[in-house]
Chains A and B, each alone.
Chain A
Amino acid sequence: MAYPEHEHAPHSFWTRYVWSQDHKVIAVQYTITAIAVGLVALVLSNLMRLQIGFPGRFAFIDANHYYQFVTMHGMIMVIYLLTALFLGGFGNYLIPLMVGARDMVFPFLNMLSYWMYLLAVVVLMGSFFVPGGPTGAGWTLYPPQAILPGTPGSGGGIVLMLVSLAIFIVAATMGGLNYVTTVLQARTRGMTLMRLPLTVWGILVATIMALLAFPALFVSAVMMLFDKLLGTSFFMPAVVSMGQALAYKGGSPILFQHLFWFFGHPEVYIVALPAFGIVSDLISTHARKNIFGYRMMVWAIVIIGVLSFVVWAHHMYVSGMNPWFGFFFATTTLVIAVPTAIKVYNWLLTLWRGDIHLTVPMLFAIGFVSTFVIGGLTGLFLGNVSTDMPLSNTYFVVAHFHMVMGVSPILAIFGGIYHWYPKVTGRMMDDTLGKLHFWVTFVGSYAIYFPMHYLGILGMPRRYYAYDNYAFIPPSAQQLNAFITVAALVVGAFQLVFLYNLARSAFNGKPSGSNPWGSASLEWQTPENPPGHGNWGPALPEVHRWPYDYSVPGAEADFLPQTSTSPLGGDDAKPDKDTP
């Protein structure tokens, strides 16, 4: 890809930082927006925990508000924070740098993608200010409930939510086109697919999944809008709501669930795969050891991506769908555990006989492995159709998915931010504050979610505003809930440490030099740090090896950058002594 040298280097403040087409600036815009909206969701979660931990103590949290907080917290975290931050933030920043491109192949489309995303966020936030407030239908937005009175925000709230989702999907599609095309078309000389860092693999497969899964959500959102605004009956059966027979007829609520989870389950991996990739690279770099079983790791990512499209109905074992589906989906769901387990083993084997530097990114990466393992293991309870019966829709589910796609991706995001911050700003984030942030977040997450599993096994249903006078719930459960709330408040408050560190280090952080972690992968080999417009100066780099040549025997330094022409190490010279 021969770019004309610095074709449109932007000059004014506006074209440089606002209407920028530079992937690095767009990535930062995505990241800041996602973190900002994530803060809103964090506050919402603390508010709902206040009600669960200390019911009735905070009069302003009535049942309507509670359900609105639950819904908005879930939707914001899953879509507007995690998806946007991994693909729009990390994807945008890292893909061109890691594959050796000057920018995304469609920079204008990339800029448009961010502004559409921002528009989606604004529309979503707008729903807080319409009469009736935002929707309280739960992030799954199941009809008929989502659009009937009796659910908070069933007027403007749900409409704005659906519109915002549709806009978000358009934005994600624009971004996704770019990421896929850039990885496949704009790699520099020598950068074969099997020399890509696992971060790029994770983001690439997640993006392809997003491109194929989001249409299902788009379709269900549009069809639900039709049902709500035009009175069609796609998902709406004949109902008598609040004593009134409505004009709907014959629609299928289960059809919506199929469409929703056809998107919803891949969505879990859209969030998980980039996290897998980032964590692989962090562990390898900070253990000064090549990632163990690279080829297997790549295949695991691809296989997980494919399989995740045939497991969606494990969210619907008790939905009333054809019960025979249960056999198929339980089997596929448990089979997907095998490639996932391979990834965990390979992270562990990368640590084994490594030279482990417990830097802040490494702490977060190891924290990710620990929390992801517990989240993945509890998934086996829920994926196995018969054990799902007593646990479905209880706090066990809440604990499971928060561990597997709440805490662990967030830990990967934090690790990634601490790791690549010097790349973005040229400065290090504060180490002490970073460690403080890690310890509270990691231990606090265990304190919040580990006991929560037990409330689920006890049978406490999720999405309950209060648990007064249920005889089977012992009073001690309430005390445990109070404990969990306190832990959640502490963890929530300590995220301010991260924000402070993030903002302060941009100006006062220690200058990082060009490659503070001694990383072998291409993004650290730019001529300037932070990289200038066009990333690579006059000539594109040439790649001679995979990104994991750490501690190569015979080499002087403990890493060989991908651009190094040294005859040692390299993917083609992989010793494979244990294979007969």
Chain B
Amino acid sequence: MALAIVLVALVISAVLFHAFSPWWYTPLASNWALIDTTLSITLLITGAVFIAVNVFIAWCIVRFRHRDGHRAAFQPDNRRLERWLIALTGVGIAAMLTPGLFVYADLIRPPPSAAVIEAIGQQWQWRFRLPGPDGQLGSTDVRFIGPSNPFGLNPADPRGRDDILISEPEVHVQVNQPVKILLRSQDVLHDFFVQPFRTRMNMVPGMVTSFWLTPTKTGRYEILCAQLCGVGHFNMRGHVVVDDETGYRAWLGKQRVTLASFTPPPRTTSTAMAGGSPTTALVSQGQALAQSKGCVACHSPTTSAGVGPGWQGLYGKHERLAGGTMALVDEAYLREAITVPNSKLVEGFQPVMPKIDLNDQEVNALIAYIRSLSTKPAATTAQQ
């Protein structure tokens, strides 16, 4: 009896939960309304079955529970009933599958007019590449990847010379313009997932995958990595901005980096950075580096520890190292920690920090940035 009540209560709370749940998909921002429709059809059918099954069980328990002198009916089979049930199930399945397959046929057929952009994943950051004036992306290969060619462009391919390279984890697309997003990875599997777009695809090293959509709503959306890609997976953040035409052109006009003009930051310490005092410039360069080199995947700019120690308040602190000794976090300590990873290990952390290619000036910038986090209040560090 209690079971019957509980089953009915579960059904009622499930329906109520559904009705009042604040957790539902984000507003659609692409042309894939049909995915939402298919999802609604599926939800309707499956929801009805869920309710029917549980209520039927509850009713059976009440109606046919054991009573003295009562005996079960003897009925091994009922072919006709079974045939009806199979047919009904078949109809329900077809009602879900058919729209699903129609949508899928569109999903895998990008329109020829679609603009093409490329997203490149790496542990744990995003980069993007747009075709230049020739409208074509040049070929790439992992073996070309190096400090001066982080995108792995084939230097011999003329189509690639005008490609626009974007090293920040943010890309813009134009509203109502179909776009095909090519996906590459240089190390492990990643997945380009923007929930409001609904569609997505894995990024597989060694091959180029793709998907397409037409953004329908301007705004700034988060890109998530949705395929486990190592310990920094949850922090592989990026943004895609859907602009109207003028906004998009303005943004595109500012993107001028190509393979020829891509230079790794200079080796000599040049203090003539654009605007601001030298220190501020160094700090903001450090902040950019922390993003682009993926440091932030493990080191939060707050006090909270991630894979590695948080950076806020780190400078000047005494850290307890594995083995029990204490060490003052100063410039020399940070330099060693960055350039010779895992030489000293803070207690409670694993020796998993990778060696990142940085020149002296970049190390200085990172140190300046980390240092700045210990002298400023937390609020300014939460941006980006």
Contact = CB atoms under 8 A, between A and B. Distances in A.
B82 A373 contact: no
A136 B231 contact: yes
Contacts of B186: 239-240
Contacts of A152: 231, 350, 352
B53 interface: yes
Given A292-B77, A458-B25, A254 B204 contact: yes
Interface residues of B, number: 116
Interface string A327-345: 1001100110110011011
B254 interface: no
Contacts of A346: 82
Contacts of B73: 289, 353-354, 551
A38 B8 CA distance: 31
B50 A377 contact: yes
A290 B75 CA distance: 7
Given A63-B231, A144-B187, A366-B3, A338 B86 contact: yes
Interface in B204-227: 204-207, 209, 221-222, 224-227
Contacts of B222: 470-472
A342 B82 contact: yes
A461 B193 contact: yes
A324 B65 CA distance: 51
Contacts of A351: 57, 60-61, 64
B305 to A, nearest CB: 7
Contacts of A457: 23-25
Interface stretch (B31-39, B126-134, B242-250): B31-39
Contact of A355 (B46, B66, B201, B226): B66
Interface in B65-82: 65-66, 70-82
Interface stretch (B88-96, B153-161, B267-275, B313-321): B88-96
B124 to A, nearest CB: 8
A59 B305 contact: yes
A464 B75 contact: no
B100 A330 contact: yes
Interface residues on A, range: 35 or more
A487 to B, nearest CB: 13
A163 to B, nearest CB: 22
Contacts of B80: 578-580
B17 A450 contact: yes
Contacts of A574: 76-77
Contacts of A451: 17, 21, 23
Contact of B100 (A243, A377, A384): A384
Interface in B89-134: 89-90, 93, 96-97, 100-101, 103-105, 107-108, 122-123
Contacts of B228: 67, 137-138, 142, 145, 463
Contacts of A374: 50
Given A354-B64, A389-B200, 10 more contacts: A144-B187, A151-B230, A240-B142, A292-B78, A318-B201, A341-B89, A351-B57, A387-B42, A389-B107, A390-B39
- What are the 3 tightest A-B residue pairs by CB atom distance, in nearest-first order? A237-B206, A459-B195, A242-B354
8 contacts: A142-B189, A290-B76, A330-B97, A353-B72, A439-B6, A464-B234, A476-B22, A574-B77
